[in-house]
Structure 1
Amino acid sequence: MPPLRRVLTLAAASVLVLTGCTPSAGEPSAEEPPAEVTSAAGTVRDLPGVDDVAVTRTPTGAEPVQGNFGQRSEPAPSTVSVEVALTGTLGPSAAGEAAGEAHRLLVAAAGRVDDRENVTVASSFVGGPGLGVSTGPTTTSAVVTDAVEDGFALLAAGATSVGLGLGGRGDGSWDDDPIAATARVSAATRDDLVGLARTAEELDRGVELQAPGVLYRAASRVPDVGAVRLLVAAAGRPGVVDATYLSQEQRITLRSDAEARSQDLADLRRWLETQDYATADDPLAYTVMDAAHAETAGWVSGAEPASYAPHTLDPFTDAEVWPEDPAAPDCAGRDLEVTFGVVDSAAGTRGASVLATNISGGPCAVENVPGLVFENEAGQPQQDVTVEHYEPGVVPGRVVVPDGGTVLAPLLWRAMSTANDPDTTTTVQVTAVPGADPVPLDATTDGTPATGLDVLDGAEVRIGPWTQGD
């Protein structure tokens, strides 16, 4: 029999309600909960600020186990759910204190359950009409106290519901589970969201805020009250159906029912670009979708990121930067020996490079983006390949390459499916500098996939200009 898993877990939800002890039709019949848990539940029920405690036990069936003589079934742990209802009229501090003490008693009780009971204990706390707090395997009482206290404070500030799913390490930190610290907060109207954001800021609590037609999502971050105010104001503009702010993307998205060339849509974009909010060092992108779902993008306050200003690409080396030499001639095609770099991949993105070594016997200069054509095994160019700037704002810079020095042009593209054996790119034709003859490079050897590159028809490839590579 597997050992008892003495944990306190519960799936995160916005609102949790007490479940009765009578199973629904078709569910397994309930069993008696362990005496240790029911005894602790009775103690919790008598705590000041606790209205009720519900304890149920539900078998989860059997788990297949592979033995010496084939597969057999062994009872799976049954689930004991302990749900603590807190008095809705409690102040935040009193509610947090009651929840923390209840959690301490339940954790201790779970630890006393005999291993032969083979149960998993799950606990949660509900309060008032809309608070739900669930505990994780190593949640401390201090974390529960803080979470419930914050939840009651948010309800007092006008939230209709607050949900927190607690996890993380036993010391109460959130480093390994940042989403667990986030309160999912709902409000009746969008006008309530700014006040809730202020409250969350005072509590130092990350929140996700939502109201009809408005969503502010900031993962584990404490909310930016100014961003919430901007979002709420944008949601109230003529024609706006819904508004979303995603802090991880630093973007506000507005969906409008206005036609593409309507005055409402033009006014909305003008309004976004004239708001006193974003800066080049702290930009916020916007996307506006019209009635046909066509998108228009831009920057709030008209503030493009500082990185979008024209700039050259930093060298891909830690070595000393090559000196300028105004007298150095431009490199010709015959002056450069071109090779293909190693392919790297991560999170669905491919990276590679084209290298060019100066073999002219003296310094020469390059200042361009190499021309690339991706060909399949039959020597046919891949169709509809789009070439984009490597990074926004990057422009070629003059690089004087010493004799024997190597410059590098980086490449990035999204991974493409090769499940049905499409014609992969096996050769890359490289025109190193203007006027040079294309040089065919084998893309199936020396650090590249033996089957070729997954740059297929319709690919989008970002290519950077030459920069120092060694």
Structure 2
Amino acid sequence: MPPLPRILALAAVSVLVLAGCTPSADEPPAEVTSAADAVRDLPGVDDVAVTRTVSEGEPVQGNFGQRREQAPSTVSVEVALAGTLDPRAAGEAAGEAHRLLVAGADRVDDGENVTVASSFVGGPGLSVSTGPATASEVVSAAVADGFALLAAGASTVGLSLGLGGGDGSWEESPIASTAHVTAASPEDFVGLARTAVELERGVDLEAPGVHYQGATRMPDVDAVRLLVAAAARPGVVDATYLSPEQRITLQTDAEADSQSLADLRRWLETQDYGTADDPVGYTVLDAAYAETTGWVSGAEPASHAPHTLDPFTDAGVWPEDPTAPDCAGPDLEVTFGVVDSAAGTRGGSVRATNVSGGPCAVENVPGLVFENEAGQPQQDVTIEPYEPGVVPGRVVVPDGGTVLAPLLWRAMSTANDPDTTTTVQVTTVPGADPVPLDATTDGTPATGLDVLDGAEVRIGPWTQGD
């Protein structure tokens, strides 16, 4: 097996490097200590601690009996930043420190059989860790965000960045850039959620008995406010909001069929929050863990009769023509529409113009595959109807006319340079060849769309456009 590359990781963890000769157990490599000395002199750095740990090699059977294989070692570097730094200065110090330590690790001779691992801490509450080959700019942004969250009232902030295989390999697999934030009181949650939205950072929030699990999504401030209010209701001993599922769960000390339990359910169902098109479920557990479920605001999911979308135009509706043939793939020229954002959601559209020279008809939802810059499809993307009950309607597109299919998804955090969607493969009609569309032009963000692994995207059928 060829040697695995040396890496610098912002985490005080051991990583095995299966190459080289038995290291010296006395001192860290001079290249690392020299880099640590340079980091120690940076403005805003309080201290740098460097330690070396040698692992005991595994026994192997050789030609002359059993022996120990060469033991890898880890050099751990902990960089302590001054807790009084403002977020920008803290980020700049961390980014420069990371750059120096990476350069030092790269100079270590292969024969050292050593991996350099490091961590950044700030004041009493910040811990930032990362996997291999994380860019200094990403480290800088993460540390700056951590200091900003601490300034907004967090007790502790933990961030994990980078890539690494869950099985110990170095195959690339994403690790969310969610900030794990604790607070002394849930009353601090709303301010922390607002700060996270400003930073475009996903957060999990935790205080005694109250939990907001946001995954990689930026927090919904209104959902956080609902959670905090629910946690303060009489009899509630634990409250959790799951953002991806849009569900709040409340554990109570109330007896089954008690008035307090009924009052809590009534309170949930009278809140001005959920809607039929964007429902939020609730689960209330009594003292014996028996559960009752329902819908916040009393807004059950809409169960509309099947219907098509109204035309996205103020012009007259195109006439029906039962003799018009179905559009084929080459009949439609496809583009990606401008992305708008509001209140944590994104909206865009796929547009198709009839270039066949005559009218043709569409009656379907286009097929979409979201790909990152490497051409790999985003994983676990859930495709949902644009709105409840909507079904495709037959639209006869005149020559030169344009139909569009609307898209809607929740904003996802791009603070840690994840693999954004840069290409959307569009299958316009059944049987057509997919058409790759560049999702970094025509008014869309230059970095691509924040449709990431695990996204939920609502797609509408082809409808008359403008």
State TM-score, norm by structure 2.
0.59
Q: Distance in 2 between matches of 1:185 and 1:149?
A: 14
Q: Distance in 1 between matches of 2:61 and 2:243?
A: 47
Q: Distance in 2 between matches of 1:214 and 1:168?
A: 30
The reply to whether residue 142 of structure 1 matches residue 129 of structure 2 is no
Q: Residues 411-430 of structure 1, C-alpha deviation per residue, up to 9 Å, x if partnerless?
A: xxxxxxxxxxxxxxxxxxxx
> How has the CA–CA distance of structure 1 residues 30 and 234 changed in structure 2, closer, same or farther, with 3 Å as cutoff?
farther
Q: Residues 31-50 of structure 1, C-alpha deviation per residue, up to 9 Å, x if partnerless?
A: 31111000000000000000
Q: Distance in 2 between matches of 1:202 and 1:12?
A: 29
Partner of 1:387: none
Q: 2:114 aligns with which of 83, 101, 119?
A: 119
Q: Distance in 1 between matches of 2:266 and 2:60?
A: 64
- Stretches of structure 2 that go unaligned for 5 or more consecutive residues are 14-23, 165-171, 308-387, 390-466
Matches within 5 A, 1:125-204: 125-168=120-163, 179-204=175-200
Partner of 1:410: none
Q: Is the 8 A contact 2:12 2:77 kept in 1?
A: no
Q: Distance in 2 between matches of 1:66 and 1:198?
A: 59
The reply to whether residue 256 of structure 1 matches residue 249 of structure 2 is no
Matches within 5 A, 1:28-67: 31-64=26-59
Q: Is the 8 A contact 2:184 2:208 kept in 1?
A: yes
Q: 1:241 aligns with which of 237, 242, 245?
A: 237
Question: Which is worse superposed, 1-10 or 209-218?
Answer: 1-10
Q: Is the 8 A contact 1:12 1:164 kept in 2?
A: no
> How has the CA–CA distance of structure 1 residues 300 and 82 changed in structure 2, closer, same or farther, with 3 Å as cutoff?
same
Q: Residues 331-381 of structure 1, C-alpha deviation per residue, up to 9 Å, x if partnerless?
A: xxxxxxxxxxxxxxxxxxxxxxxxxxxxxxxxxxxxxxxxxxxxxxxxxxx
Secondary structure (helix, strand or coil) at the match of 2:69 reads strand
Q: By how many angstroms is 1:249 displaced?
A: 2.0
The reply to whether residue 109 of structure 1 matches residue 109 of structure 2 is no
Q: Distance in 2 between matches of 1:113 and 1:12?
A: 19
Q: By how many angstroms is 1:136 displaced?
A: 1.4
Partner of 2:394: none
Structure 2 letter corresponding to 1:130: G
Q: Residues 87-134 of structure 1, C-alpha deviation per residue, up to 9 Å, x if partnerless?
A: 000000000000000000001111110011001111110001100001
Partner of 1:225: 221
Q: By how many angstroms is 1:139 displaced?
A: 0.6
> How has the CA–CA distance of structure 1 residues 12 and 222 changed in structure 2, closer, same or farther, with 3 Å as cutoff?
farther
Superposition CA RMSD, Å: 2.6
Q: Distance in 1 between matches of 2:224 and 2:12?
A: 24
Percent identical across equivalent pairs?
A: 76
Structure 1 letter corresponding to 2:54: P
Partner of 2:91: 96
> How has the CA–CA distance of structure 1 residues 261 and 230 changed in structure 2, closer, same or farther, with 3 Å as cutoff?
same
Q: By how many angstroms is 1:248 displaced?
A: 2.1
Secondary structure (helix, strand or coil) at the match of 1:181 reads coil
Partner of 1:7: 7
Q: Distance in 2 between matches of 1:310 and 1:72?
A: 74
> How has the CA–CA distance of structure 1 residues 12 and 206 changed in structure 2, closer, same or farther, with 3 Å as cutoff?
farther
Q: Residues 111-164 of structure 1, C-alpha deviation per residue, up to 9 Å, x if partnerless?
A: 110011001111110001100001210210000000000000000001010000
Q: By how many angstroms is 1:263 displaced?
A: 1.1
Secondary structure (helix, strand or coil) at the match of 1:271 reads helix
Q: By how many angstroms is 1:5 displaced?
A: 4.0
Q: Is the 8 A contact 2:125 2:155 kept in 1?
A: yes
Structure 2 letter corresponding to 1:238: P
Q: By how many angstroms is 1:65 displaced?
A: 5.0
State TM-score, norm by structure 1.
0.59
Q: By how many angstroms is 1:76 displaced?
A: 2.9
Secondary structure (helix, strand or coil) at the match of 2:149 reads helix
Q: By how many angstroms is 1:305 displaced?
A: 1.9
